A and B are shown apart, each in its own frame.
Chain A
Amino acid sequence: MATQVAPVPTTPAVGDNVVVETRNLSKIYRDFWGRQKVRALKPLDLSIYRGEIFGLLGPNGSGKTTTIKLLLGLLFPTTGQALVFGRDATDVAKNERLGFLPEESYLYRFLNAEETLDFYGRLFNMPSSVRRQRTAELIDMVGLNWAKRRQLREYSKGMARRIGLAQALINDPELILLDEPTSGLDPIGTREMKDLILKLKAEGKTVVMCSHLLADVQDVCDRIAILHQGELKELGRVDSLLRMRDLTQIRASGLNDEAKAEIRAVIERHHGTLNSMDNPTTTLEELFLSIVRDSEARPGRRGKFEEDAKGGKTGG
Chain B
Amino acid sequence: MVRDFVIPSSYWLWLPEAVLHYLLVVALVSVAGLVFAFLIAAVRHGPMRAGDMIYRVMASVGSDLLRFSPRRVFALARLAVQESMRRRVWVALVVFGFVLLFAGWFLTPSSDPKELGNFDPGKLYINFVLTATTYLVMLLAIFLSAMSLPTDLKNRTIYTIVTKPVRTGEIVLGRILGFTVIGTVLLCVMGAASYVFVNRSLDHTHELTTADLTDLPRDPGTISAGGKEGFTSIDHNHRHHVVLDAEGNGVTDVQQGHFHRVHAVKNSAGEVESYVVGPPEEQLVARVPIYGSLRILDRSGKQGEGINIGKEWTYRKYLDGGTPMAAIWTFTGITPERFPDGKLPLEMLLRVFRTYKGKIADEKKNNRVVGILSSIELVNPEQPSMKSTAIIFTAKDQVIDKHYIPRKLERNTDKGVETVDLFDDLVTKDGRLDLVLRCLEPSQYVGVAEADVYLKSSNGSYPFNFAKGYFGIWMQMVLVVGFGVMLSTFLSGPVAILATMGILIMGFFTKDVTDLFTAVIEHNYKLVPGGGPIESFIRLVEQQNITLELPPTFGIHLAQFFDKILMSFMRAIVEVLPNFNDYSNVQFVADGFDVPIVRILQQATLGLGFVVALFVAGHVFLRMREVAK
Chain A residues, CB < 8 A from B160: 100, 102, 106-107, 120, 164, 167
Which A residues from 72 to 114 make CB contacts under 8 A with B? 72-76, 90-93, 95-96, 98, 100, 102, 104, 106-108, 110-111
B83 touches A119 (CB 8 A): no
Chain B residues, CB < 8 A from A74: 159, 162-163, 626-628
CB distance from B624 to the nearest CB of A (A): 9
| Chain B binder among A4-12, A121-129, A215-223, A256-264 | A121-129
CB distance from A165 to the nearest CB of B (A): 12
A69-B628, A102-B160, A106-B155 known; A111 vs B82 contact (CB < 8 Å): yes
A98-B163, A104-B156, A107-B160 known; A122 vs B628 contact (CB < 8 Å): no
Residue A34 CB within 8 A of the other chain: yes
B163 touches A95 (CB 8 A): yes
Residue A172 CB within 8 A of the other chain: no
B163 touches A110 (CB 8 A): no
Closest Cβ neighbor of A34 among chain B residues: B44
B86 partner, pick from A100, A102, A107, A110, beta carbons under 8 A: A110
Residue A115 CB within 8 A of the other chain: yes
A110 touches B155 (CB 8 A): no
Residue B555 CB within 8 A of the other chain: no
Chain A residues, CB < 8 A from B166: 92, 95, 123
Chain A residues, CB < 8 A from B228: none
- Report the interface size class on chain B: 20 to 34
B165 touches A96 (CB 8 A): yes
Chain A residues, CB < 8 A from B159: 72, 74, 100, 102, 106
| Chain A binder among B70-78, B119-127, B396-404 | B70-78
A122 touches B71 (CB 8 A): yes
Which B residues from 160 to 215 make CB contacts under 8 A with A? 160-167
Residue B87 CB within 8 A of the other chain: yes
Chain B residues, CB < 8 A from A119: 75, 78-79
Which B residues from 123 to 155 make CB contacts under 8 A with A? 155
Closest Cβ neighbor of B167 among chain A residues: A92
Chain A residues, CB < 8 A from B67: 93
1/0 per residue, CB under 8 A from B, across A49-77: the answer is: 00000000000000000000100111110
B156 touches A106 (CB 8 A): yes
A123 touches B628 (CB 8 A): no
Residue B582 CB within 8 A of the other chain: no
Chain B residues, CB < 8 A from A76: 626
Closest Cβ neighbor of A27 among chain B residues: B626
Residue B64 CB within 8 A of the other chain: yes
B626 touches A75 (CB 8 A): yes
Residue B60 CB within 8 A of the other chain: yes
Distance of A91 Cα from B623 Cα, bound (Å):
11
State the B residues within 8 Å of A (CB).
Answer: 43-44, 60, 64, 67, 69, 71-72, 74-76, 78-79, 82-83, 86-87, 155-167, 626-628
B83 touches A108 (CB 8 A): yes
Distance of A104 Cα from B160 Cα, bound (Å):
11
B165 touches A95 (CB 8 A): yes
A120 touches B157 (CB 8 A): no
Which A residues from 120 to 165 make CB contacts under 8 A with B? 120, 122-125, 151, 164
A92-B167, A108-B79 known; A122 vs B72 contact (CB < 8 Å): yes
Chain A residues, CB < 8 A from B87: 110
Distance of A32 Cα from B78 Cα, bound (Å):
35
Taking A73-B163, A100-B163 as given, write out 8 further A-B residue pairs in contact, using a Cβ cutoff of 8 Å, ordered by the A residue number.
Answer: A72-B162, A72-B163, A75-B627, A90-B60, A92-B166, A123-B161, A123-B165, A125-B71
Closest Cβ neighbor of B67 among chain A residues: A93
Q: List 25 A-B contacts (CB under 8 A).
A: A34-B43, A74-B162, A74-B626, A91-B60, A92-B64, A92-B162, A92-B166, A92-B167, A93-B67, A102-B159, A102-B160, A106-B155, A106-B158, A107-B160, A108-B79, A108-B157, A110-B82, A110-B83, A111-B79, A115-B82, A119-B79, A122-B74, A123-B72, A123-B75, A125-B69
A102 touches B162 (CB 8 A): no
- Report the interface size class on chain A: 20 to 34
Chain B residues, CB < 8 A from A107: 157, 160
CB distance from A210 to the nearest CB of B (A): 14
Q: How many A-B residue pairs have CB under 8 A?
A: 84
CB distance from B85 to the nearest CB of A (A): 9
Nearest 10 CB-CB pairs, A to B? Answer: A122-B75, A74-B628, A110-B86, A123-B164, A106-B156, A100-B163, A95-B165, A34-B44, A96-B165, A69-B628
Chain A residues, CB < 8 A from B155: 106
Chain B residues, CB < 8 A from A98: 163
CB distance from A176 to the nearest CB of B (A): 11
Chain B residues, CB < 8 A from A122: 71-72, 74-75, 78
Distance of A102 Cα from B628 Cα, bound (Å):
12
Closest Cβ neighbor of B158 among chain A residues: A106
A75 touches B156 (CB 8 A): no
A74-B627, A110-B86 known; A92 vs B72 contact (CB < 8 Å): no
B628 touches A75 (CB 8 A): yes
CB distance from A52 to the nearest CB of B (A): 21
B161 touches A73 (CB 8 A): no
CB distance from B158 to the nearest CB of A (A): 8
CB distance from B344 to the nearest CB of A (A): 61
Chain A residues, CB < 8 A from B78: 119, 122
CB distance from A276 to the nearest CB of B (A): 48
Chain A residues, CB < 8 A from B43: 34
Distance of A167 Cα from B163 Cα, bound (Å):
11
Chain A residues, CB < 8 A from B626: 74-76
Chain B residues, CB < 8 A from A164: 160
A106 touches B79 (CB 8 A): no
Distance of A100 Cα from B163 Cα, bound (Å):
7
A124 touches B157 (CB 8 A): no
Chain A residues, CB < 8 A from B83: 108, 110
Which A residues from 8 to 34 make CB contacts under 8 A with B? 34
Closest Cβ neighbor of B161 among chain A residues: A123
Distance of A72 Cα from B160 Cα, bound (Å):
11
Distance of A76 Cα from B57 Cα, bound (Å):
12
Distance of A104 Cα from B164 Cα, bound (Å):
17
- The residue among B60, B82, B163 with the most chain A CB atoms within 10 A of its own CB is B163
Chain A residues, CB < 8 A from B164: 95, 120, 123-124, 171
CB distance from A30 to the nearest CB of B (A): 8
Closest Cβ neighbor of B163 among chain A residues: A100
Distance of A74 Cα from B627 Cα, bound (Å):
5
Distance of A119 Cα from B78 Cα, bound (Å):
9
- The residue among B86, B158, B161, B628 with the most chain A CB atoms within 10 A of its own CB is B628
CB distance from A84 to the nearest CB of B (A): 11
CB distance from A155 to the nearest CB of B (A): 14
Closest Cβ neighbor of B625 among chain A residues: A76
Chain A residues, CB < 8 A from B44: 34
- The residue among B43, B76, B86, B160 with the most chain A CB atoms within 10 A of its own CB is B160
CB distance from A191 to the nearest CB of B (A): 25
Chain B residues, CB < 8 A from A34: 43-44
Chain B residues, CB < 8 A from A125: 69, 71-72
Distance of A157 Cα from B364 Cα, bound (Å):
80
Closest Cβ neighbor of B623 among chain A residues: A90
Closest Cβ neighbor of A111 among chain B residues: B82
Closest Cβ neighbor of B74 among chain A residues: A122
Closest Cβ neighbor of A99 among chain B residues: B163
Distance of A111 Cα from B159 Cα, bound (Å):
16
Chain B residues, CB < 8 A from A91: 60
CB distance from A224 to the nearest CB of B (A): 23
Chain A residues, CB < 8 A from B69: 125
CB distance from B456 to the nearest CB of A (A): 53
A108-B157, A122-B75 known; A93 vs B163 contact (CB < 8 Å): no
CB distance from A193 to the nearest CB of B (A): 18
Distance of A187 Cα from B296 Cα, bound (Å):
92
1/0 per residue, CB under 8 A from B, across A232-257: the answer is: 00000000000000000000000000
Closest Cβ neighbor of A108 among chain B residues: B157
Chain A residues, CB < 8 A from B157: 106-108
Chain A residues, CB < 8 A from B75: 119, 122-123
CB distance from A310 to the nearest CB of B (A): 53
